Amino acid sequence: MGKTIAQKIFDNHLIDSPFPNTYVLKLDRVFCHEITTPVAINDLVDRGKDKVFDCTKIKAVIDHVSPAKDSKTATQEKILREWAKRNNIKDFFDIGANGVCHAIFPEKGYVRPGYTVIMGDSHTCTHGAFGAFAAGVGTTDLEVGILKGVCSFRNPKTIKFVLNGKLKDGVYAKDVILFIIKTIGVNGATNCVIEFTGPVVDSFDMESRMTLCNMAVEAGATSGICYPDKTTVEYLWDFIKDEYKTKEDAISDYSKWISDKDAEYENIYELDLSNLEPLVTFGYKPDQVKTVAEMEGTHVDQVYIGSCTNGRISDLRIAAQVLKGKHIADGVRGIVSPATPKIFRQAMEEGILSIFMDAGFCVTNPTCGACLGMSNGVIADGEVCASTTNRNFNGRMGKGGMVHLMSPATAAATAIKGSICNSFLYK
């Protein structure tokens, strides 16, 4: 019987299986940020175990509330900052150099095909776009990962999505993942890996694949994963060019992290996305999804463009294309947060930030703050936000607020009209 990518990665990293269906894996990367990691740090300090398994494999960033909004968040940042210094963690991105974790870490080339990656953050599954097994974990697992460089997981059951057809103009990866979540529900992939394959995925750039994998957790998945290919190698080439003579050599090597043709799956979904329309969430669950056309006319108070889902340069370019020469509707607040300093600078040099500002948007520094209702875009009770983020839970962006998830194109068009609508890019 053949094996899936996840099974191959598990086999390659297996250290022990102490109980049935329990696999202890060696870790290639442990990512950290200032919200969840300080709890683990404090416990390790209290236990007299203030050390790390390998300071070169741990990467840390301050991103969720950046800069700190109050004494509590400032203290959390201080704990992470001092811990990184004590343990010689060189890849630590403090205020000014920091970006959204699931954008800056791939940008720095820290994720490779076949890697195992953990972080105390549910959207760690983003990094599966590179053909890695990447999962969000709780505090205890994070502590063990920091200290020992290992983590335990259940058997990696896999659900396979074969995405066929060709997307219409104005339909994007965000629409695809919303459709998938709608199809299987928020618990449809619980304790499973979602494997994204097919012509649609093959055509996606790495940023689109990261968007796809980012929201796998919203369907309950432990991880999302894509096959590594030429696109993966092109993205990583500056970081791996000393390891391979040619790009073809890298592609050939990474092909070992592709599922076998006779691999066994929990379920296989074959979907033709040729007629897929732009989508948007309603209600308070990410599987509550309708077409934008069905939600047209829904009033919004705020439009937010950014996050680990859709704050990359391609996202900003698309939104700017819609916004250029136009202005957001009266009574609507527009906020854009480029996901990393590199993206911010690139958007500035390309004139994208000027387009946003001319349209009436507020441009913020890279941060996750708005997405989880902590800073830089919190909404009030009864307000409605059109957002390119990943969660629409009740109170997610502010107590009593409503969040509608959508693509950057739809968000930009909605900002102009003041109510949910399709962009002119959709044809």
What domains are there in the chain, each with its CATH number?
Answer: 5-270 (3.30.499.10), 279-417 (3.30.499.10)
- Give residue 156's pLDDT band: very low, low, confident or very high (50, 70, 90): confident
Cβ 274 vs Cβ 397: under 8 Å? no
pTM of the model: 0.97
- Give residue 183's pLDDT band: very low, low, confident or very high (50, 70, 90): very high
pLDDT tens track for 78-137: 999 999 999 999 999 999 999 999 999 999 999 999 999 999 999 999 999 999 999 999
- Give the chain's end-to-end CA distance (angstroms, integer): 44
The β-bridge relationship of strands 116-119 and 29-33 is parallel
For 305, the enclosing helix (H) or strand (E) is: strand 302-306
List beta partners, residue 198: none
Cβ 276 vs Cβ 303: under 8 Å? no
For residue 126, the SS3 value is: helix
Task: Please give the mean pLDDT across all residues of the chain.
Answer: 97
For residue 214, the SS3 value is: helix
pLDDT of residue 234: 98
- Give residue 155's pLDDT band: very low, low, confident or very high (50, 70, 90): confident
Range 30-57 average pLDDT: 97
The pLDDT > 70 percentage for the chain reads: 100
Range 400-409 average pLDDT: 97
pLDDT tens track for 232-269: 999 999 999 999 999 999 999 999 999 999 999 999 99
pLDDT tens track for 296-336: 999 999 999 999 999 999 999 999 999 999 999 999 999 99
Q: Hey, how many other C-beta atoms are within 10 angstroms of the C-beta on 69?
A: 14
